[in-house]
């Protein structure tokens, strides 16, 4: 009995840091609607800065002072980030802020190594909390007891802050209705900045408090960020008490999960998140999102099929691309094949995100399933390449059909998180089920047959499939189904009122996107000759998101350009420098600030501006656009 009690306390102690970081993320999201991917980076910075300070200042005052000072310093960094970067992009399309904070995260990973060196750092133990307390023969570290006591205190302070101060009232009001607060004449800028600072402070504090238990290293951010997303989503976005309960739930699941299912502890948390989201779509303590505001930034210019000139342009571009083997060597062709494959992958996510309005954070699952499908068919069943290539993606289709059914019941961030959870479950299975998938050692020897083995032939194969996939998705965009899908995205209310079964339409779109991603994965397996769990991983999902946003989420085929630019740059940077993350992150941040509509979005804006200025004189009704009223009454 004492054992279970101590195990419970241990879980509570683990919950403390998780709660601090998660509450910060939740507060920031609640007010600014920013999904702050950089929250893990601030956590890590907190740990690093606290390490430096506590090494320099001795004694209890030095230690505790160092922890608090470190959190404050990182909060100031957060304020600078908010003012310099995020303020510029609050009105950019949804998720663009996620892209910006993702870029920051990449940069911070390299920066901490540059500043603090590559070695794992062992911080000091907390003065006064070095030992353990004996509890019926079980030892409880006294620092754990300190952490257990700390979270309710922080929860209490936050509660007082939000309930008893004017600032707190404003923050709560802003969480419910941002526009109302603006209408009250509150300086929204500073409200956002202060909220961001508080959130970052909590993240940094969570990191700083880990130094007596953990090693400080440059992968801390990714280790915590996914867990924190899970906690925030289970608890309900914007709910601090929810973050608290979910942090405890997740930590206890870990603590007791390892006793019952020692081998599947990673999956367990994601399974719970998936179940919570299916049963309570807004998390345990969350409130239903107010009927989705009309997505700001949606372009007013309706999509249209290519004109015949543009079609010729696209065909010429394809023809030029097809001539690459005449000019370039084997390496360039292999890179070209890889880019073509990522064009397919990005286009499939773009279809779901831009046309369907469903931003998946776990799209790599279907890419990876396609790849594993091929690997199983080619290696285990020994089927010929063409058959494997056509049948392998069916595994992606199957996965998309099953997971998509549940995912499309949700919207917005919750949809994103459920797709993430599914992807993580699939990844964990591939990673840990060694007997079937080979675990992280993957499945080797999936090489193309002779006819496709040469770099030029494989390049043509990839390019051809990419062209077909992109063209097909474009056709679907302008098909009756594509319009039904866009109708569902634009106005759920109206589409339902004209007889459209939105969920079924979205589910179909999910399956289409998953299948196309599966084809990309199938080709990828043959390109690399092997399949690893990486091809299902978060970083691949995030890469795809970045490609779509980079190309322009409001365009028909921006993802094609986004994929080419991002992948080419990525491959080049990885080849040229060990600091590829710093450069790539900086590039992403720059793009976000300079071209918030993405590359293709910017090009279209320029073209439309030119077109409208040339047609202005001839248009009698140009006043119509200015007399438009946003909402009634």
Judged by CB under 8 A, does residue 289 bind other proteins? Answer: no
Q: Which is nearer to other proteins, 215 or 321 (CB)?
A: 215
Q: Minimum CB separation from other proteins for residue 169, in Å?
A: 25
In angstroms, how far apart are the furthest CA atoms of the chain? 89
The single residue among 33, 87, 172, 213 that binds other proteins, judged by CB under 8 A, is 213
From residue 530 to residue 549, the character string flagging contacts with other proteins as x (rule: CB under 8 A) and all else as - is: x-x-xx---x----------
The single residue among 214, 241, 289, 449 that binds other proteins, judged by CB under 8 A, is 214
Q: Minimum CB separation from other proteins for residue 118, in Å?
A: 3
Question: Taking a C-beta distance cutoff of 8 angstroms, is the pair 92, 111 a contact?
Answer: no
What are the Cα distances from residue 400, in Å, to 129, 235, 368, 484, 489? 49, 26, 12, 20, 19
Judged by CB under 8 A, does residue 429 bind other proteins? Answer: no
Q: Tokens 């608090």 belong to which residue?
A: 68
Which two tokens mark 224? 């915590």
* Backbone φ and ψ of 586, nearest 5°: -60, -40
Please state, in angstroms and rounded to a whole number, the distance separating the CA atoms of residues 74 and 45.
7
The single residue among 166, 263, 450, 616 that binds other proteins, judged by CB under 8 A, is 263
Judged by CB under 8 A, does residue 380 bind other proteins? Answer: no
Question: Taking a C-beta distance cutoff of 8 angstroms, is the pair 322, 271 a contact?
Answer: no
Q: Tokens 């399309």 belong to which residue?
A: 93
Q: Which is nearer to other proteins, 26 or 580 (CB)?
A: 580
Q: Minimum CB separation from other proteins for residue 186, in Å?
A: 25
Question: Taking a C-beta distance cutoff of 8 angstroms, is the pair 227, 253 a contact?
Answer: no
Question: Residue 438, SS3?
Answer: coil
Judged by CB under 8 A, does residue 298 bind other proteins? Answer: yes
Judged by CB under 8 A, does residue 490 bind other proteins? Answer: yes
**In this chain, which stretch among 68-76, 149-157, 374-382, 493-501 interacts with other proteins, using CB under 8 A?**
493-501
Question: Taking a C-beta distance cutoff of 8 angstroms, is the pair 18, 177 a contact?
Answer: no
Judged by CB under 8 A, does residue 288 bind other proteins? Answer: no
Question: Taking a C-beta distance cutoff of 8 angstroms, is the pair 209, 54 a contact?
Answer: no
Q: What is the 3-state secondary structure (H, E, C) of 79-122?
A: HHHHHHCHHHHCCCCCCHHHHHHHHHHHHHHHHHHHHHCCCCEE
Please state, in angstroms and rounded to a whole number, the distance separating the CA atoms of residues 238 and 178.
13
> Which residues touch 111 (CB under 8 Å, ≥6 apart)?
582
Q: Tokens 């196309």 belong to which residue?
A: 516
From residue 7 to residue 36, the character string flagging contacts with other proteins as x (rule: CB under 8 A) and all else as - is: x--xx-xx----------------------
Judged by CB under 8 A, does residue 430 bind other proteins? Answer: no
The single residue among 23, 32, 495, 555 that binds other proteins, judged by CB under 8 A, is 495
Strand ranges inside 484-582, DSSP E: 530-531
Q: Minimum CB separation from other proteins for residue 386, in Å?
A: 19
- Which parts of 141-180 interact with other proteins (CB under 8 A)? 141, 143-144
Judged by CB under 8 A, does residue 411 bind other proteins? Answer: no
- Which parts of 301-360 interact with other proteins (CB under 8 A)? 301-303, 305, 329-332, 334-335, 338
- Which parts of 468-487 interact with other proteins (CB under 8 A)? 475-476, 478-484, 486-487
Which two tokens mark 451? 């006819």
Q: Which is nearer to other proteins, 235 or 442 (CB)?
A: 442
Sign of the C-alpha dihedral computed for residues 403, 408, 411 and 412 taken in this order: positive
Q: Which is nearer to other proteins, 250 or 589 (CB)?
A: 250
Judged by CB under 8 A, does residue 616 bind other proteins? Answer: no
Which two tokens mark 60? 């209890």
Q: Tokens 């479950």 belong to which residue?
A: 425
Q: Is 88 left (phi over 0), alpha (psi -120 to 50) or beta?
A: alpha
The single residue among 245, 358, 461, 505 that binds other proteins, judged by CB under 8 A, is 505
Tell me the site size for other proteins, rule CB under 8 A.
Answer: 117
Q: Which is nearer to other proteins, 39 or 379 (CB)?
A: 379
Q: Minimum CB separation from other proteins for residue 597, in Å?
A: 14
What are the Cα distances from residue 358, in Å, to 431, 492, 569, 607? 27, 13, 27, 27
The single residue among 185, 288, 382, 499 that binds other proteins, judged by CB under 8 A, is 499
Helix (H) or strand (E) holding 385: helix 385-391
Q: Which is nearer to other proteins, 77 or 476 (CB)?
A: 476
Q: Minimum CB separation from other proteins for residue 84, in Å?
A: 26
Q: Minimum CB separation from other proteins for residue 625, in Å?
A: 4
The single residue among 54, 175, 254, 506 that binds other proteins, judged by CB under 8 A, is 254
Q: Minimum CB separation from other proteins for residue 568, in Å?
A: 12
Q: Minimum CB separation from other proteins for residue 517, in Å?
A: 16
């Amino acid at each position: 009995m004492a054992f279970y009690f101590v195990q419970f306390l241990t879980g509570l102690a683990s919950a403390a840091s998780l709660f601090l970081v998660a509450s910060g993320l939740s507060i920031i999201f609640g007010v600014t609607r920013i999904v702050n991917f950089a929250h893990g980076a601030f956590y890590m910075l907190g740990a690093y800065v606290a390490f430096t300070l506590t090494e320099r200042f001795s004694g209890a005052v030095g230690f505790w002072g160092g922890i608090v000072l470190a959190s404050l310093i990182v909060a100031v960094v957060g304020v600078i980030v908010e003012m310099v970067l995020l303020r510029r992009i609050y009105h950019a399309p949804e998720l663009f802020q996620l892209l910006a904070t993702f870029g920051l995260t990449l940069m911070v990973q390299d920066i901490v190594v540059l500043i603090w060196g590559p070695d794992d750092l062992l911080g000091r133990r907390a003065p006064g909390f070095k030992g353990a307390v004996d509890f019926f023969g079980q030892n409880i570290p006294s620092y754990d007891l300190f952490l257990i006591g700390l979270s309710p205190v922080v929860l209490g302070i936050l509660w007082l802050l939000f309930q008893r101060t004017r600032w707190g009232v404003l923050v709560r009001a802003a969480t419910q209705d941002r526009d109302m607060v603006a209408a009250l004449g509150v300086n929204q800028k500073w409200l956002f900045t202060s909220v961001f600072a508080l959130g970052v402070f909590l993240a940094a504090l969570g990191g700083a408090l880990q130094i007596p238990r953990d090693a400080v290293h440059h992968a801390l951010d990714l280790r915590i960020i996914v867990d924190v997303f899970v906690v925030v989503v289970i608890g309900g976005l914007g709910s601090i008490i929810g973050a608290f309960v979910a942090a405890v739930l997740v930590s206890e699941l870990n603590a007791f999960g390892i006793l019952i299912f020692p081998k599947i502890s990673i999956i367990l948390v994601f399974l719970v998140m998936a179940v919570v989201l299916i049963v309570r779509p807004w998390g345990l303590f969350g409130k239903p999102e107010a009927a989705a505001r009309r997505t700001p930034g949606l372009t007013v210019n309706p999509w249209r099929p290519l004109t015949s000139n543009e079609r010729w342009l696209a065909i010429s571009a394809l023809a030029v691309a097809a001539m690459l083997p005449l000019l370039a060597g084997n390496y360039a062709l292999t890179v070209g094949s890889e880019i073509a494959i990522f064009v397919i992958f990005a286009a499939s996510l773009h279809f779901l995100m831009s046309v369907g309005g469903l931003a998946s954070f776990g799209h790599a699952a279907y890419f990876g399933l396609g790849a594993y499908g091929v690997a199983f068919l080619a290696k285990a069943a020994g089927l010929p390449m063409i058959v494997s290539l056509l049948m392998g993606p069916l595994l992606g289709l199957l996965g998309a059909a099953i997971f998509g059914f549940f995912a499309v019941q949700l919207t917005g961030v919750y949809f994103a998180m459920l797709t993430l959870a599914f992807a993580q479950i699939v990844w964990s299975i591939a990673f840990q089920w060694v007997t079937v998938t080979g675990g992280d050692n993957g499945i080797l020897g999936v090489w193309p047959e002779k006819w496709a083995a040469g770099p030029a032939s494989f390049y043509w194969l990839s390019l051809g499939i990419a062209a077909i996939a992109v063209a097909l998705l474009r056709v679907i965009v302008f098909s009756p189904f594509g319009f039904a899908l866009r109708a569902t995205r634009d106005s759920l209310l109206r589409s339902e009122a004209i007889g459209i079964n939105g969920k079924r339409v979205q589910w179909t779109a999910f399956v289409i996107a998953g299948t196309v991603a599966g084809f990309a994965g199938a080709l990828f397996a043959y390109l690399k000759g092997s399949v690893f769990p990486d091809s299902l991983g978060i970083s691949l999902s995030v890469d795809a998101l970045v490609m779509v946003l980079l190309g322009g989420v409001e365009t028909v085929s921006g993802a094609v350009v986004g994929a080419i630019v991002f992948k080419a740059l990525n491959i080049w940077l990885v080849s040229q420098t060990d600091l590829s993350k710093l450069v790539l992150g900086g590039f992403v941040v720059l793009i976000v600030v300079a071209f918030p509509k993405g590359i293709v979005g910017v090009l279209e804006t320029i073209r439309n501006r030119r077109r409208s200025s040339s047609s202005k004189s001839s248009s009698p009704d140009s006043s119509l656009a200015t007399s438009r009223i946003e909402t009634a009454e």
